[in-house]
Amino acid sequence: MSLLDVLKYRWRVLKNPRAHELETGEELDFHVHLEAMQREHAGDGRISSAEATREARRKLGNATYYREETRRASGLQFFDTIAQDTRFAFRTLRSAPTFTAVAIVTLAIGIGANTAMFSAIDALLLRPLPFREPSRLMAVSLTGTPVGRGGVARDDLVWSYLKFQVFRDAQTVFSDLALWRESMFTVRSTGDALRVHGEFVDSHYFPTLGAQAALGRGFTPDDDRQLGGSHLVILSQELWRAAFNGETSALGKILDVDGDTYTVLGVAPAGFKGLSGESAFWIPIASMRPEWHVADDPWAQNFFAIARLKDGVTPEHATSIVAGIGRRIDIAQPDTRGTATPTRFGATARLLDATRVDVQARRILLILFGAVGLVLLIACANVANLFLVRANARRREIAVRLAIGAGRWRVIRQLLVESVILALLGGVASLGVAWIGTRMIASLHPGSALRSQTVSGVRIVEFVDIHLNVEAFLFAAGVAIATGMAFGIAPALKATRPSLTESLREDGSAQRAALRRFSSRDALTVAQLALAVVLLASSGLLMRSLEHLLQINPGFDSDHVLTFQINRAPAWSRDSISKFYDVALARLAAVPGVAGVAVVDCPPFSTCSRAPIVFHDRPPVAHGAEPVVGVHWITPSWPSVVRVPLIRGRYMMRTDDLDRQKVVLINVAAARAFWPNSDPIGKTVSVGGPDTATVVGIVGDVLYESMIEPAKPDVYVSYYQVPFTYRMMVFVKTKVPPTSIAADVKRALAEVAPGFPAYDFRPLTDQFDLSTSDVRVSALLISLFAMVALGLAIVGTYGVISYSVAQRTREIGVRIALGATTTNITRLVVGHGVVLAAIGGAFGLAGALALTRLLRSLLFGVQTTDPLTLAGIAIVLALAALAASWIPARRAAGIPVVRALRGG
Amino acid sequence: MAKASAPKNDLLKGTLDMLVLQTLTVRPLHGYAIAQQIEGLSNDVLRVEQGSLYPALERLQKRGWVTSKWGDSPTGRRARYYTITAAGRRQLGEQISSFDTMLAAINGVLRRS
């Protein structure tokens, strides 16, 4: 077999090149030996054996040369030269430390930043959700009709247990569908208590997601039926290990969840964390306490729904069918609250994958990806420039090497080896940058960074899931390195073309190229500067927006306020609610460090209740055409706890009780909108119902839904007068850091209301930060990219200008000899930089005006043509040009005339 | 690298390969014997320089046309014996036939036939 022979031969040669060489030597020796014997024999005794050997050697000629020829024929020479090239490349790179360092840093930043950003995009937007056939999963939501004039229809409402039953029984397009909601729990087995996330689910949850218990069994429809019973729990693998050491005997054991005992039924498969993405265990919805009225109150809208499409049903078809079925919900569960305009419910479905990150977060991620792409382009331009400059600078060296006999291929290979080594070094460095970058992005938890809470409740996509993405790394590395190679090799190819004399002459074509008005290097530099300007503009606009946002007075003081949610208390009657507030608020106010306590139904920066308002001091308007106001339930102390100022009239008081005339507070916006020319105090209104109430006070505007839009008319009603228990958030004004007394507050509440669900403790400032986080995160990252881009562009400009100074040494020498002053020369060189910056700036601004439109949804209080930002960019660019050309300019001005003219 | 000036009777590379393969068709030989054979069979018209022979042998091995093995020579010293492979024989056949074609063509041009 010939191929086998070939391989055997190659293997033998490569396995031990030294042995192969020795054998070749031995073979030649043997040849000489035989030749000598032959001669001695032919000489018939007249020639001594020593003489014959000498003769034979002479005939052989240059043994070393033959040996080398043999070696080359054996294919070993290739490896010799590669080793040589590598050694030589390292020497050359070491001899040009600035070039090497700049190239490596450029590659590292360009590749690393892109890898990190793409890793984030991949984790957040692209990677399939961790369920079986995730593309067949749909999130199903309730829809609501708009309330009053100017109201917005909701299509992302959560389900109540009863409404979902209606939908489940009627639907035809899903093979399975399930209800779930997430909550925080304290669990205890044998050791310490753990604070963990858990999910309430029905028995369809695991089958719908395609997950099967790794141990034990899942929930059955029977477990859904025993309302208030069913104290069963399925553990995640993590909790199983933490609480039961991962032992099989855990099945049937008891887990304490918020003081109730649950029997371990099974263990979820490895890696399964539920739709909330962080669930440690699952318990049946049926295990919720009957007092919570979850299963028998059609208004207890608490649950997200997830559904799996039947085979052959398209998502579009399903969505249209779901809309039809949605109409049956009102028939089965009509709105009986007696409001003037009852809410009409419906249903809608959307692919789960489309809900993984909200629209704004998705947009931000893509904008950031675009920005980091620009950084890669700049890095490529920089690398191209560096290699171009370097290859040109080495034309002479290459010409010399060709002249003394190096083959063209040999020279090109040498350059290739150099590029590859540089690329590898840059690649390794960029891995470091990418690693740090992914860590940094991963540390931005979605709760405090980008809003990722979405319509479907899905938070599977966590920033901590961001891992270094190998494909992204290879892509970015490939692009950057190919650029370097292309720009490094092309001039080399040109240089290795036969016309040697021109390159060897000192003022050859290189010099002429430098004297050309606008070289390809200049073009690359202009491109870099232009791209950097686009990023600078984006960063400037976002920074200005952030500045505006932070200057906004939200109308309340979030400092030193601890907030937490409480759920509807056991079996409250209309009368017992007031008593509960009195007792609970008094007990909480007595906790050391507490300065004030209040309850509110809707914290700032969330979607609050809205209702039509009817004025009794003017003729009635057509039904359904009433203006809409925000309705906020508060306890009387609320305005003082968050320092909402009283403008006129009085605050609410505890004495404004159930049996007294109802009172409301209105905000300034409402006073202006509804009583522009009269005093609202003492006027009577009805809000969302038939009861009339008197306006007793006007308070300052509070920005509830958006920091960006002006306050809308709001009305405050008292929990004492309008009992409402679906949503309660306690605000505790503290004298100490708010979170430090969270445990005390919780304990105090448990004293007066044992078993009362209180959760989600956090400082109010978190809410505030959250409301600006999208602008904050994008401003921060884009500014970082802009800085990097500007840095690269400055380095690129510096490289080009120094190169041009080096090329023009003689010309500058002549100028000096003819009387040019230091200032003249400096101006000449700096002028070059300024011209590049001006052209780059012009292109960049044009590009920025076109591209920053994409940012519009993130901008606030600033136009894309913001003069301050544009002026800032001009100044930054001018400084950059100056920084990049100053050192070369000084060098040029200091050129010794004699050396310059001699052509040194 | 300077080009080696070709000795007068040095053989064209392809031709040398063909001759080497031909000498090996009868039995395995070492390098010196191959050179001797060629010189002897051509009545000393063709001279094989070591500088061409050994690189040629490496080349032939690289292509899988011959293999080599160390063995004892009649003088008692170790020698490398070359053996033609099946692929080598095929190659030889092709080379001879194309050589014949070329020879006929050259003769045709010289109007000798």
Mean pLDDT of A474-492: 73
Q: Which amino acid is at A59?
A: K
Alpha-carbon radius of gyration of chain A: 39
Q: Please tell me the distance from the alpha carbon of residue A201 to that of residue A287, in angstroms, as a whole number.
A: 10
Chain A contacts of B30, Cβ < 8 Å?
A: 27, 30
For B56-75, b/e burial (b = at least 16 CB within 10 A) is bbbbbbbbbbbbbeeeebee
Assess contact for A568 and A758: CB atoms under 8 A.
no
Residue A491 has pLDDT above 70, yes or no: no
Residue A465 has pLDDT above 80, yes or no: no
Assess contact for A382 and A528: CB atoms under 8 A.
yes
Q: Residue A541 burial by CB count (10 A; 0-12/13-18/19+): exposed, middle or buried?
A: buried
Mean pLDDT of A492-496: 65
Chain B contacts of A75, Cβ < 8 Å?
A: 62
Q: Please tell me the distance from the alpha carbon of residue A679 to that of residue A694, in angstroms, as a whole number.
A: 12
Query: Do A24 and B54 count as a contact with CB atoms less than 8 A apart?
Result: yes
Cβ of residue B47 closer than 8 Å to a chain A Cβ = no
For residue A205, give the H/E element and its range: helix A205-209
Assess contact for A295 and A236: CB atoms under 8 A.
no
Chain B, 77 to 96: residues with Cβ < 8 Å from chain A are 77-80, 85-88
Q: In what order do the strands lie in the sheet with B78-84?
A: B29-30, B78-84, B66-72
Beta-bridge mates of residue A759 = A565
Q: Please tell me the distance from the alpha carbon of residue A858 to that of residue A572, in angstroms, as a whole number.
A: 45
Q: Are strands A693-699 and A646-649 parallel, antiparallel or unpaired?
A: antiparallel
Q: Which of B61, B63, B79 sits opposite A30 (nearest CB)?
A: B79
Mean pLDDT of A635-662: 90
The 8-class DSSP code of residue A44 comes to T
- The end-to-end CA distance of chain B, in Å, is 44
Q: Tokens at residue A634, please?
A: 């508060």
Q: Is residue A743 very low, low, confident or very high in pLDDT (cuts 50, 70, 90)? A: confident
Q: Please tell me the distance from the alpha carbon of residue A66 to that of residue A39, in angstroms, as a whole number.
A: 22
Residue A900 has pLDDT above 60, yes or no: yes
Distance from the A96 Cα atom to the nearest Cα atom in chain B, whole angstroms: 28
Query: Do B67 and A9 count as a contact with CB atoms less than 8 A apart?
Result: yes
Q: Residue A717 burial by CB count (10 A; 0-12/13-18/19+): exposed, middle or buried?
A: buried
Mean pLDDT of A743-769: 78
Q: Which of B55, B70, B77 sits opposite A69 (nearest CB)?
A: B55
- Which single residue is written with the structure tokens 């809470």? A453
Question: What pLDDT is stored for residue A450 in this prediction?
Answer: 47
Q: Please tell me the distance from the alpha carbon of residue A487 to that of residue A503, in angstroms, as a whole number.
A: 19
DSSP A785-834: HHHHHHHHHHHHHHHHHHHHHHHTHHHHHHHHHTT--HHHHHHHHHHHHH
Question: What pLDDT is stored for residue A293 in this prediction?
Answer: 65
Question: What pLDDT is stored for residue A493 in this prediction?
Answer: 67
Q: Which has the closest alpha carbon to A743: A186, A183, A239, A242?
A: A186
Question: What pLDDT is stored for residue A513 in this prediction?
Answer: 46
Beta-carbon count within 10 A of A8 CB: 14
Residue pLDDT, tens place only, A672-700: 999 998 999 999 998 877 788 999 999 99
Q: Looking only at Cα atoms, what is the longest distance across chain A?
A: 146
Residue A119 has pLDDT above 50, yes or no: yes
Nearest C-alpha in A relative to B35: A31
Q: Please tell me the distance from the alpha carbon of residue A398 to that of residue A504, in angstroms, as a whole number.
A: 9
Residue pLDDT, tens place only, A567-581: 655 455 566 778 888
Question: What pLDDT is stored for residue A338 in this prediction?
Answer: 58
Question: What dihedral do alpha carbons A788, A793, A794, A798 form, nearest 10°?
Answer: 140
Residue pLDDT, tens place only, A201-214: 999 999 999 999 89
Beta-bridge mates of residue A425 = none
For residue A717, give the H/E element and its range: strand A714-718
Mean pLDDT of A38-52: 78
Query: Do A66 and B1 count as a contact with CB atoms less than 8 A apart?
Result: no
Residue pLDDT, tens place only, A547-601: 888 888 888 888 899 988 876 554 555 667 788 888 889 999 999 999 999 999 8
Beta-bridge mates of residue A728 = A566
Q: Tokens at residue A595, please?
A: 């300065």
Question: What pLDDT is stored for residue A291 in this prediction?
Answer: 61
Residue A457 has pLDDT above 60, yes or no: no
Q: Please tell me the distance from the alpha carbon of residue B18 to that of residue B21, in angstroms, as a whole number.
A: 5
Q: Which has the closest alpha carbon to A209: A278, A138, A302, A156?
A: A138
Q: Is residue A340 very low, low, confident or very high in pLDDT (cuts 50, 70, 90)? A: low
- Residues whose CB is less than 8 angstroms from the CB of residue A4 and which lie 6 or more positions away in sequence, other chains included: B64
Mean pLDDT of A37-66: 77
Query: Do A33 and B77 count as a contact with CB atoms less than 8 A apart?
Result: yes
For A731-767, b/e burial (b = at least 16 CB within 10 A) is bbbbeeebeebbeebbebbeeebeebbbeebbbbebb
CA A533 from chain center: how many Å?
23
Question: What pLDDT is stored for residue B13 in this prediction?
Answer: 58
Cβ of residue B6 closer than 8 Å to a chain A Cβ = no
Cβ of residue B40 closer than 8 Å to a chain A Cβ = no
* pLDDT > 90 fraction of chain A, expressed in percent and rounded: 15
Chain A contacts of B4, Cβ < 8 Å?
A: 65, 69
Query: Do A405 and B85 count as a contact with CB atoms less than 8 A apart?
Result: no
Q: Is residue A514 very low, low, confident or very high in pLDDT (cuts 50, 70, 90)? A: very low
Distance from the B56 Cα atom to the nearest Cα atom in chain A, whole angstroms: 7
Question: What pLDDT is stored for residue A494 in this prediction?
Answer: 66
Interface test with A, best of B20, B32, B80 (most A CBs within 10 A): B32
Query: Do A6 and B63 count as a contact with CB atoms less than 8 A apart?
Result: yes
Mean pLDDT of A145-156: 65
3-state secondary structure of A232: strand
Q: Please tell me the distance from the alpha carbon of residue A887 to that of residue A538, in angstroms, as a whole number.
A: 30
Q: Which of A10, A35, A73 sits opposite B55 (nearest CB)?
A: A73
Question: What pLDDT is stored for residue A175 in this prediction?
Answer: 93
Query: Do B50 and A28 count as a contact with CB atoms less than 8 A apart?
Result: yes
Nearest C-alpha in A relative to B80: A27
Question: What dihedral do alpha carbons A558, A560, A565, A568 form, nearest 10°?
Answer: -100
Nearest C-alpha in A relative to B85: A2
Q: Which has the closest alpha carbon to A584: A759, A760, A763, A754?
A: A754
Assess contact for A416 and A489: CB atoms under 8 A.
yes
Higher pLDDT, A306 or A277: A306
Q: Which of A8, A10, A66 sits opposite B51 (nearest CB)?
A: A66
Residue A372 has pLDDT above 80, yes or no: yes
Residue B36 has pLDDT above 50, yes or no: yes
Chain A contacts of B32, Cβ < 8 Å?
A: 30-31, 34-35
**Angle between helix A809-817 and A822-851 (nearest 10):** 130
Q: Please tell me the distance from the alpha carbon of residue A490 to that of residue A497, in angstroms, as a whole number.
A: 11
Residue B68 has pLDDT above 70, yes or no: yes
3-state secondary structure of A203: coil
Residue pLDDT, tens place only, A241-280: 988 888 899 899 988 887 788 999 999 998 888 888 778 9
Q: Which has the closest alpha carbon to A884: A790, A782, A787?
A: A790
Q: Which has the closest alpha carbon to A265: A212, A218, A199?
A: A218
Mean pLDDT of A770-791: 81
Question: What pLDDT is stored for residue A309 in this prediction?
Answer: 94
Q: Please tell me the distance from the alpha carbon of residue A292 to that of residue A20, in angstroms, as a whole number.
A: 87
Residue pLDDT, tens place only, A382-403: 888 877 777 777 777 777 887 8
Q: Which has the closest alpha carbon to B67: A78, A23, A10, A19?
A: A10
Residue pLDDT, tens place only, A121-138: 887 777 778 888 988 999
Query: Do A6 and B64 count as a contact with CB atoms less than 8 A apart?
Result: yes
Mean pLDDT of A452-465: 50
* pLDDT > 70 fraction of chain A, expressed in percent and rounded: 86
Q: Please tell me the distance from the alpha carbon of residue A119 to that of residue A438, in angstroms, as a whole number.
A: 7
Q: Which of B35, B54, B85 sits opposite A70 (nearest CB)?
A: B54
Mean pLDDT of A354-360: 73
Q: Which of A31, A72, A75 sits opposite B50 (nearest CB)?
A: A31
Chain B contacts of A66, Cβ < 8 Å?
A: 50-51, 54-55
Sign of CA dihedral A502, A504, A507, A511: positive
Average pLDDT, chain A: 81
Chain A contacts of B56, Cβ < 8 Å?
A: 73
Q: How far is CA A175 from CA A136, A210, A304, A312, A467, in A?
A: 10, 12, 17, 11, 34
- Which single residue is written with the structure tokens 């299963």? A295
Interface test with A, best of B20, B58, B59, B72 (most A CBs within 10 A): B58
Mean pLDDT of B79-108: 88
Query: Do B85 and A5 count as a contact with CB atoms less than 8 A apart?
Result: yes
Question: What pLDDT is stored for residue A461 in this prediction?
Answer: 52
3-state secondary structure of A97: helix
- Which single residue is written with the structure tokens 């004004």? A733
Question: What pLDDT is stored for residue A206 in this prediction?
Answer: 94
Query: Do B65 and A2 count as a contact with CB atoms less than 8 A apart?
Result: yes
Question: What pLDDT is stored for residue B7 in this prediction?
Answer: 40
Nearest C-alpha in A relative to B83: A5
Assess contact for A201 and A178: CB atoms under 8 A.
yes
Residue A904 has pLDDT above 70, yes or no: no
Q: Is residue A448 very low, low, confident or very high in pLDDT (cuts 50, 70, 90)? A: very low
